[in-house]
Amino acid sequence: EVQLVESGGGLIQPGGSLRLSCAASGFTVSSNYMSWVRQAPGKGLEWVSVIYSGGSTYYADSVKGRFTISRDNSKNTLYLQMNSLRAEDTAVYYCAKHDSSGWYFDYWGQGTLVTVSS
Amino acid sequence: NFMLTQPHSVSESPGKTVTISCTRSSGSIASNYVQWYQQRPGSSPTTVIYEDNQRPSGVPDRFSGSIDSSSNSASLTISGLKTEDEADYYCQSYDSSNHWVFGGGTKLTVL
């Protein structure tokens, strides 16, 4: 059974850093495309970043240069390092596994809330 | 880059049929597959339609998807509405520049 469990969210001051983790089970993270998707309170879904099975990474313009996606194959875990955080980064962050074609997200975690506020 | 535009909300009575649209701002709707996700309050999204019109196992056949090149839009149709269908629905597609795009979401009220 595929499971994705995010952790690492919390309250952080503007300009601060936070690292989110997504522990996966039931499949191999490094063999799949994996993304982070966020949802601001009361708002819609926003794609944030992807890491391809080959290791290439891409980012939404809103986070490029501040966020870094990575994975630890030995731990079967996905990460999102978030630096220079802003109030507008406040959201629930979901990790999501892509289907085998890569087109869409077939499994989602439960999400972890990041609140950026002084 | 393109945007996907959805109506903010739709409402319909139980047993009826509702259609939610998703219009692509530029480029052809047919150039990349469209997916639809259902998100109930307090829960993570789940896929109800993938690759324009395919249903994952476990999704009832009351849910169907289509695309219309003439209006450059995709549609999610839910027939025989049930109160449990009340949720937010998001369309999603792939931008060929290694980005994924979501529509703004549609709140479906079944009243």
* Cβ burial, residue B7 (10 Å; 0-12/13-18/19+): middle
Tell me how far apart the alpha carbons of residues B89 and B104 are, in angstroms, rounded to a whole number: 9
CA torsion angle A19 A22 A28 A34 (round to 10): -70
Task: DSSP letter for B51, please.
Answer: T
Task: Show the tokens assigned to B11.
Answer: 């409402």
For residue A71, pLDDT over 90 is answered with yes
- In tens, the pLDDT along A2-61 reads 999 999 999 999 999 999 999 999 999 999 999 999 999 999 999 999 999 999 999 999
Tell me whether residues B50 and A94 touch, CB distance under 8 A.
Answer: no
- In tens, the pLDDT along B40-70 reads 999 999 999 999 999 999 999 999 999 999 9
pLDDT value, residue B84:
96
For residue B96, pLDDT over 90 is answered with no
Tell me whether residues A103 and B33 touch, CB distance under 8 A.
Answer: yes
pLDDT value, residue B31:
94
Which of B57, B100, B102 to mutate to test binding with chain A, by most A CBs within 10 Å of its CB? B100
- In tens, the pLDDT along A79-93 reads 999 999 999 999 999
